[in-house]
Amino acid sequence: MLNGCSPNGRMMEGIIYKGTSPSKNANPDKITFVQVDGAKCVGCDTCISYCPTGAIQGEPNKEHEVVDAALCINCAQCLIHCPVGAIYEEVSWIDKIKKALKDRDTVTVAMPAPAVRYTIAESFGAKPGTPVYGKLVGALKKLGFDKVWDVEFGADLTIMEEGTELVKRLSGELKKPIPQMTSCCPGWVKYVETFYPELLPNMSTAKSPVAMLSVMAKTYGAKTNKIDPAKMFTVSIMPCVAKKFEGLRPEHNSSGYRDIDVTITTRELAWLLKDAGIDLYAMDDLVADPLLGDSTGGATIFAASGGVMEAALRFASEKVNGSKPAKVEFEAVRGLKGIREATVRLGGKDVKVAVANGLKYAIPLCEAAKRGESPYHFIEVMACPGGCVNGGGNPILPGVFAYVRNQIIKLVRGFAKKLADIDRTIA
């Protein structure tokens, strides 16, 4: 507990970052990535209502806290919905990135996620959802990155891996259980590891897009560009705090080095650009560097709930049926409904799929799979409602939360007054 003391740290885009920079050998399971500032908390329970695991606890009108790092899946939905800005991030590698960008012997590689191109513009006054991909690449180059390799390339690899794996599971060639479940979202993966370990065989064996891209960067990318991978510094740029946890996982060293050196959120990148005096909208539109910068439209839709499912179905349909589907849009898996279902024809068979829009909707799907009663063959889960575009590392919308904050504060103060009146009456 913070005992009423505000954490020392750097304010970036309205959020406090304590600035802890874990070493590459740190155990992410022991790290609390988000925490509550007791001096600001008004005990409104908003964070508790958004926490899917009970990691945040506290009595109404009293200080709350993240009580267990093991329970927390690091989705940071509590952070972006806290009406009083009482939740902060523990981990930030900003100073390490600045140092690497200045070091001429270090080859810095920026790896922005698909969602970042649609959310970072909000930090520069644009409407939510404004696409700024070309200007984002230009800004990263201006900031000093030697290479910009797109996580959408990794997403395309994920599509092929997950789609192929699904086909092999369905045919019996791969002896793994049905339903197959997506493995892109680190919050969802940690949730299964913690609460449903018996379902781990159902999880796709495919790494997440950024995990795939980072390995490619330090192997194929380094070799092709004649770069010593030992001097390469990869920066994962994510709309997600849970990706910081993922980047530290010990298994991400397939390249022979740490695949992902550091991870930052969209908010931190916006701060870095502003700190360097870079106006996003003044940048020329550029494209990502060759080899690991190309991608398809299937990769782009990874940012939204249902996107991973739709992209994988497109690939699996073509692979099984031997030709491109007449209609590449699988609209039934789109939208914001809690659980969306669809039936897709693959190789003459009906394949039932489901998409959970947020972790709370995944629970009944997990329970059915645990009992061996799931009617589905393929399930997509993203921890954040709406998908990565609503991830906990995105910019905070000041206007919306200013209104909510005022309403919550009024409510809590009124509640506190009523309790005080009751206490005086009893006394």
DSSP, residue by residue, 203-242: B-SPPPHHHHHHHHIIIIIHHHTT--GGGEEEEEEES-SH
**Which candidate in 240, 366, 384, 388 is catalytic?**
388
The residue that leads in pLDDT, 221 or 421, is 221
Q: What are phi and psi of 356, to 5 degrees?
A: -100, 120
Q: What's the average model confidence in pLDDT over 307-315?
A: 74
> 89, 162, 310, 380: which one is catalytic?
162
Residue span(s) of the chain under CATH 3.30.70.20 come to: 10-92+399-426
Distance of alpha carbon 370 from the chain centroid: 25
Q: Which residues have C-beta within 8 Å of that of residue 161, sequence separation ≥ 6?
A: 204, 205, 206, 207, 212
What residues have CB less than 8 Å from 307, skipping those under 6 apart?
Answer: 300, 301, 387
Position 407 scores a pLDDT of 55
- Specify the CATH number for 94-153+208-282; select among 3.40.50.1780, 3.90.1150.10, 3.90.550.10, 1.10.260.40: 3.40.50.1780
- Residue 396: pLDDT over 90: no
Helices 133-143 and 266-275 sit at what angle, rounded to 10 degrees? 60
Active site residue 251: yes
The answer, yes or no, to whether residue 203 has pLDDT greater than 50, is yes
Angle at 383 between CA 306 and CA 117, to 5 degrees: 65
Catalytic residue (choose from 63, 122, 246, 380): 246
Catalytic annotation on 162?
yes
Helix axes 94-102, 266-275, angle to 10 degrees: 50
Q: Which residues face 20 on adjacent strands?
A: 91
Q: Is it the case that residue 347 has pLDDT exceeding 90?
A: no
- Strands (E) in 15-156, as ranges, are 15-20, 34-36, 56-57, 65-66, 87-91, 107-112, 147-148
Averaged pLDDT of the chain: 87
Is 184 one of the catalytic residues? yes
Q: Which of 87-91, 147-151, 344-348 has the lowest mean pLDDT?
A: 344-348
Share of the chain above pLDDT 70, in %: 84
pLDDT band of residue 5 (cuts 50, 70, 90) is very low
Of residues 152, 165, 268, 310, which has the active-site annotation? 165
User: Which letter, b or e, does each residue of 236-264 get, where b requires 16 or more Cβ atoms within 10 Å of its Cβ?
Assistant: bbbbbbbbbbbbbbeebeebebbbbbbbb
For the segment 213-240, the average pLDDT, to the nearest whole number, is 96
**Residues paired with residue 203 on neighbouring β-strands, in sequence order:** 181
At 341, the pLDDT band (50, 70, 90 cuts) reads confident
Catalytic residue among 243, 255, 295, 384: 243
- Among 172, 101, 77, 140, residue whose Cα is nearest residue 287: 140
Nearest to 188 by CA among 204, 175, 174: 204
CA–CA gap between residue 137 and residue 65 (Å, rounded): 38
User: Which band of pLDDT confidence, cut at 50, 70 and 90, is reported for residue 301?
Assistant: low
Structure tokens at 413: 């103060």
The string of pLDDT tens digits covering residues 251-289 is: 999 889 999 999 999 999 999 999 999 999 999 999 999
pLDDT for 4 beyond 50: no
Task: Pick the catalytic residue from 184, 185, 240, 384.
Answer: 184
- CATH 3.40.50.300 given to domain 10-92+399-426: no
Catalytic residue (one of 123, 204, 295, 317)? 204
Mean pLDDT of 24-30: 89
Asked if 108 and 145 count as a contact pair (C-beta separation under 8 A), the reply is yes
**CATH 3.40.50.1780: which residues of the chain?**
94-153+208-282
Instruction: Give yes or no: 388 in active site.
Output: yes
Cα separation, 387 vs 391, whole angstroms: 7
Is 214 a known active-site residue? no
384 noted as active-site residue: no
The answer to whether 243 is a known catalytic residue is yes
- The backbone region for 62, taken as left when phi is positive above 0, alpha when psi lies in -120 to 50, beta otherwise, is beta
Instruction: Name the strand (E) or helix (H) holding 181.
Output: strand 180-181
**What pLDDT, in 10s, does the model give residues 104-143?**
999 999 999 999 999 999 999 898 889 999 999 999 999 9
The token pair that represents 248 in the structure block: 């530290």
Q: 19 pLDDT band (50/70/90 cuts)?
A: confident
Of the candidates 175, 251, 323, 327, the residue annotated as catalytic is 251
pLDDT at 280: 95
354 sits in which H/E element:
strand 349-357
224: number of Cβ within 10 Å: 12
pLDDT of 124 reads: 93
